[in-house]
Structure formats: C-alpha cells, structure tokens
Amino acid sequence: MLGLTPPFPSVEDVPSSPANLADRGSESRTPFTASSPGTPSPRTGSSRSTSAHDWESFPWSKFPDLTISERKGRPKSWIWQHGYDLQEIKDETRHRWVCRECVKKKDPKITAHLASATFNIESHLGNQHNIYGGKLQPRLGKRTIDQMFSLAGTETPDVDFQFRNRLKKQFDKAVFQRKLVRWIVETNQSFRVSENDTFRDLLDYLNPIISATNAHISHDAIRRRVADEYHFFRLHIVRALRQSPSAVHIAFDGWTSRNRHPLFGVVAFFLDQSFRPRKIVLGLPNLTDRHTGENIADSVRDILEAFELGKEKIGYFTLDNASNNDKAMDHLAQHFQWTNATSTRIRCFGHVIHLVARAMLLGKDDADGVIEDDLDTDALEMWAKRGPIGKLHSLVVWINRSNRVTEMLRDVQRQDTDKKWPGSLDVVVDINTRWLSQYYMVGHFPGESEFVAAADPADPQLGFLTSHLQFRTDEAMVRECSLTRASSTMAGNPAEDTMSETLRLLLGDIVDINVFRQLLELDEPDQGAFSQAIIVEYICQADEALASMSQAL
C-alpha cells in the first residue's frame, strides 16, 4: 500500500518506512470516523490501544508536525494509560506523549512531551490532574489540603486512602472538643466563637476530618462542657487539698468586671505532697447582693464546703482592711466555731502599705480619719486640688481631654531619638478605686523636656501647659518616694516579689516620710502639717500584719 486513506487500516496494513510517511504528508493525520471499519481494539501503552473515538477528538490542528506512532510493541509504563502515543513526522525515532486529560478538558496550553522524559510526564499527571503511579508519590506541598484529605476522591491512589484512614483513626473527637473548650476558657474567648463560620472554615482547612466527623460544637455545648470539666477537676482538687501536708490558707476579695459583673474571687494557698507551694482559684461567684459581711461570709462558706474544707484544714485568711471583711470573719468564725476570728485573719500587708502611700500622696487628711472610706471620699476633694498628685491629676485629665495636646506630645516623642521606649506613650489618668493607679499615672507622665518642646508660650490655648511646669519639683519628690514601689512589690511584681526585697524597700520609708513632708512644705507650708496620727495608725497596722505573718510562718 502506498499510503493511509480513510477508512482507518488494520495494523498489518500500516507501513513503517520513513519514505512512505513523508509521502503520505497530511494524509497520515486524517482523522477517522467512529463508523470506520477495522477499528483496532484498545491496547494499553501504544497508539494501537487508542480507540477510534479518541483519535476523532484529538486536536490535530495543534500538532501539525506529529502523526500516530508506528513503533513495534507497546510501552509498558503506566503513563501510556493516560496519554496518546505519537511520533514526529520528520524523525520517526522521536516519540511524543500527549495527555488524554488535557485533551478531554480542551486545555489551550496542551503540550506534547518527549516520551523519554517520563519524570516530566509523571509530574504533569500528578500536579495537574492528581494522578499518581510508579515511583512518584504525591507531593503534599504541591497539593491543596482538600485534595490531600478528600474523602470522596476516586482518583486518589491507595497510599492516600491509607493516609486518610490513619488520620481518621488518630483523630479523637472527644480530645479535639476538650482542647477547643480549654482554649476558649484559657484565652477568655466568647463561647460563640466555636460557631463562627470563618473559624470553622480555618479548622476544616487544617483538618477536614473535623467536619466529616461532626466534631464542631455549639456555644450551649461548650457551656455544658465547661461545667462538666469544673465538676471533674473539682474532685481532683478536693483530693489534693485533703492530702496537703499543710493547712489551706484563704484569700478573697471583690471587684467589678468591665461588663459590670460584681465578682468575688476566692483563692487557696497550700503545699502539695512534694512540699511545693501551690495556689488555685476555688471560686469566682457573682455576688449580686450588697457586699455586706454576712453576704460575703455566706458566699465564701459555700465555696469552702464545696471543696470539703472544714475547721481542721482551714488556716489563715488574708484580707484587706475593708470593714465588711471584719463582719465576714465574725460570721465565718461563728459557722466554723473558731474561738477568736482575729486570730485567723492576716491583714494584707501590701494593702496596708498602699493606704500609707495614699495618705501621704493626699497631702492632707482628716484629723479623725484613719478609715479607708474617709480617704476615698472626704479627702478626695482636697487631694484633687492640692499637693503634687492633685496638680498632676488635673493636668493629666486636661491633656487626656485635648486631642491637640495629646498629638503634640506624641509627635515630640516620635522625634526624640534618645527615648528609652518604642513608639509614643500617652498619659494615664488615675482612678481612685483602682489599685496603684496613681503609681502608674506618675510613671507614664512625660518629663519636663517633652512639655517644653510641645508647648508654645505664644499660644493662649497652651498657656495652661507651661503654667503647670511648676510641679516639676513635686514630680521628682514623688518619684523618690519608695512607698509606692513597696506597694507595687506586695501587689505581685514578678521581678521583686520577695519578702526580703519588700522589707529592704520599707527600711527607707520612715526617712521618706520626713523627706516627703519637707518637700511638701516647700510647695505650701500647710501641706506639710498633715495628721501624724494616720501615719502612726497605719504603721501600727503594718506591725500587726507582720506579727500575724510571723505566727503563720
């Protein structure tokens, strides 16, 4: 036969000489029809295995220099199950492979790969069509996680099915939900974060088995699990407290949260069986009733009984100087049948020091008053007008209300290349009921140089700024007083939270009192004449606290 003409010839009729191929020209690429007689049966691995229907859909227009391969025998590689076997017209020894999947998808970038470059062909099948075989295994980094963990894929090889099945066996739904609840609680997240679509999508991206096993939980389920976890671990805590070689000491105090919940914290301190000091929160009740001594005692008693702490196991109570705590201790002593309530109470040493520092910073106090409530009310009016802290408070409030001045101070700090802090700091307004708020107000206040640089004497609006630079002597005095530093230490400064460091700071406090008084007299003589009675009273309370701690130790 001289050439290939439709209909498609049988295998025996196909010539193999290069001359005949050249003579046939484009005739050799003439597609056949599905009804052509003599269609060869499919045979994996060569052009002879390609059905008439496949050749009919082959895009010959994209490959004008190729024709059907005439090689003898068939290639054994698995790649020929997914490709067309062709050869170059000008050189029949150069065989080409064209992807069947790309032909089906009518990919405009379809390429004829050299048949000898089997690695490139395998990479193409794996990366583009998720088809793997031979020695080339799935490249996890080149595929999406959904492809890797697809639970319904039909073209994923056995190795992927084994991988997924192993992951499903390793995935523990209960453990995942427990860890999710723990993360929500420890990071103070909203319970509804577990229902957030974006959050769930993130978890499914990391592991689609979460959705496949219905492991997502609702906010109601989280609330129930938190309660269940509490009751579960409460039993462990009860056992640890019962086995403690020491007494269990208690501290409690109340405060109002940002969302206006009146909370009351109860904390236990004890030694574990290895004689290591431990502390743990026993309860955080929402004390909606008035914070009377009786209500506080009832709330604390319920928590102590929930952890099976009785008269024999309870040690000392460390509380602040609020009068309702005195009443609470009387009620607790009556319930637990203690002979003397004061013998089991230790006044918070840090709180005592804090009151001393507050009394000194006020600059003047009522002659009658040594009660904390007096410091918080009557003396507040005088404190806001007189003394170095009063002046600083007024100035900070004014700066905080002025966006213009605030931005000026920020700009000065940004231009200061010698400052020891990154960015810029804003002033901090003290809050009378917040622990150590005056300490932080003084510490965050900019120095005189910042004011001089920011203030324009010719600007009437900023005249207030320059007129208050007279507080600079008072500011230096406040920074020198160690009472506030000692109070900060007792509040739990991790860098200095030791009794020896606190006592070292307190050694200079008596000297500080005299220096403080002298400096106050420099500003206004009457300010140095504040009541000695209040200082003496607080020092006596400090001695009482030290004596109680010595007994406890």
Residue-wise pLDDT tens digits, 113-122:
888 888 888 8
Calpha distance 349→487 (Å, rounded): 9
Per-residue pLDDT at 125 = 87
What phi and psi values does residue 354 have, to the nearest 5 degrees? -60, -40
pLDDT band at 221; cut points 50, 70, 90: very high
CB 384 within 8 A of CB 394: yes
User: Which helix (H) or strand (E) element contains residue 18?
Assistant: helix 18-24
Most confident of the ranges 193-197, 387-391, 460-464: 193-197
Q: Is the pLDDT of residue 511 over 60?
A: no
Please report, rounded to a whole number, the percentage of residues in the chain having pLDDT higher than 70. Answer: 56
For the chain, which residues make up each domain, given as ranges?
11-136, 173-225, 246-344, 351-552
CB 287 within 8 A of CB 523: no
- Residue scoring higher pLDDT (492 or 349): 349
* pLDDT digit string, tens, across residues 74-98: 788 888 888 888 888 888 888 899 9
Smallest CA-to-CA distance from 96 within 46, 145, 133 is with 46
Most confident of the ranges 38-52, 333-347, 536-550: 333-347
- Residue scoring higher pLDDT (35 or 413): 413
CB 122 within 8 A of CB 77: no
* pLDDT digit string, tens, across residues 515-534: 444 444 434 444 434 434 44
Residue type (1 letter), 72: K
Q: Which fold has domain 246-344?
A: Nucleotidyltransferase; domain 5 (3.30.420)
Per-residue pLDDT at 255 = 78
Q: What is the mean pLDDT of residues 484-503?
A: 43
Q: Is the pLDDT of residue 143 over 70?
A: no
Q: Is 536 left (phi over 0), alpha (psi -120 to 50) or beta?
A: alpha
Calpha distance 235→243 (Å, rounded): 12
CB 446 within 8 A of CB 471: no
Q: What is the mean pLDDT of residues 447-466?
A: 52
* pLDDT digit string, tens, across residues 41-72: 333 334 545 555 577 788 888 888 888 888 87
CB 159 within 8 A of CB 167: no
> How much helix, strand and coil, in percent to the nearest 5, is found in the chain?
55, 10, 35
Tokens 């009804």, residue located? 35
- Compute how many other C-beta atoms are within 10 angstroms of the C-beta atom of residue 438: 24
Calpha distance 216→73 (Å, rounded): 56
Calpha distance 445→474 (Å, rounded): 13
- Residue scoring higher pLDDT (273 or 394): 273
What pairing do the DSSP bridges indicate for beta strands 345-347 and 112-114?
unpaired
Average pLDDT score over the chain: 69
Secondary structure letter of residue 436 according to DSSP: T
DSSP reduced 3-state for 325: helix
Per-residue pLDDT at 266 = 92
Per-residue pLDDT at 467 = 47
Secondary structure letter of residue 140 according to DSSP: G
E strand residue ranges, 306-373: 314-319, 345-347
Calpha distance 344→313 (Å, rounded): 12
Q: What is the mean pLDDT of residues 249-259?
A: 82
Rounded to 5°, angle at Cα 447 from 446 and 451:
85
pTM, two decimals, is 0.49
Q: What is the mean pLDDT of residues 406-423?
A: 76
pLDDT band at 344; cut points 50, 70, 90: confident
Per-residue pLDDT at 317 = 92
